[in-house]
Amino acid sequence: MKIEYLEIYTSAIKEQLNFYRDVLGFSITKNSENNFRFSAGFTEICFQFKKDAKPYHIAFHIPAHQEDLALNWLKERVVIEKNDTEEIIDFKNWKAKSVYFRDHDDNILELISRRDLYPSQKEYFNVNSILGVSEIGLAVEIIEPYYTYLHRQFGLGIYDGNLDRFCAIGDDEGLIIAVNRHNRDWFPTNQTAFAADFKINFTHHQGSEFSFTSKDV
């Protein structure tokens, strides 16, 4: 599942624009009073104004084995969110390593390096090394109807977890991370997993295009 478009909400358009443009260094492609857009690799991201916007969890692909370079790059710009004392978190079952940080809205952001995906020979890291959105969090009351909808409509399967507390839906290339917001917080900050509206467009199964919003189910 390749996430090619992500639309999320913020109550602080100006501050978020400053963060993604001036702190991280993304080139803004559209900017108005109520929204702005930029491309993070193959994903176009749109922030829309919403007075009661809630925080998200979003992960971005980076090249394989570049987590150390990414960490050093991030440390010059943001505070790293640790798991106890770990700055780079090793997900052995996923063959992946991640670094976490936050933006102005307290969205939990993650740079994830997968061992078997997106190899690179480059020995440097910058904003152009961010290859696209890897994951979007979906905090819900009950996971099962969301999984059933995504499976029947789009053919997405369970990548990891179960339907009780945590369910990663999709594949290595793209995941919807569904959690039961009553008994699972976001890792590694233990921040409350709020129900936050979003829209994604993605390709799956030989280039089919799909659009999903958190209100669809």
At 184 the three-state DSSP class reads coil
Structural domain boundaries in the chain? 52-197
pLDDT given at position 20: 98
User: Which uninterrupted H or E stretch holds 158?
Assistant: strand 158-161
Q: Contact at 8 Å (CB) between 107 and 55?
A: yes
The alpha carbons of the chain give a radius of gyration, in whole angstroms, of: 16
Q: What is the pLDDT of residues 92-101, one digit of tens each?
A: 999 999 999 9
Q: What is the dihedral of CA 203, 204, 205, 210, to 10 degrees?
A: -70
Two tokens, residue 71 = 């960490």
**Total Cβ atoms within 10 A of residue 134:** 30
| DSSP-derived 3-state class of residue 103 | coil
What is the per-residue pLDDT for 60? 98
> pTM of this prediction?
0.94
Q: Which CATH superfamily is domain 52-197 in?
A: 2,3-Dihydroxybiphenyl 1,2-Dioxygenase, domain 1 (3.10.180.10)
pLDDT per residue as tens digits for the range 170-203: 999 999 999 998 888 888 888 888 888 899 999 9
> Tens digits of per-residue pLDDT, 44-88?
999 999 999 999 999 999 999 999 999 999 999 999 999 889 999
Judged against a pLDDT cut of 90, whether residue 215 lies above it is answered with no
Could you tell me if 125 and 33 are in contact, meaning their C-beta atoms sit under 8 angstroms apart?
Answer: no
pLDDT tens digits for 135-171?
999 999 999 999 999 999 889 999 999 999 999 999 9
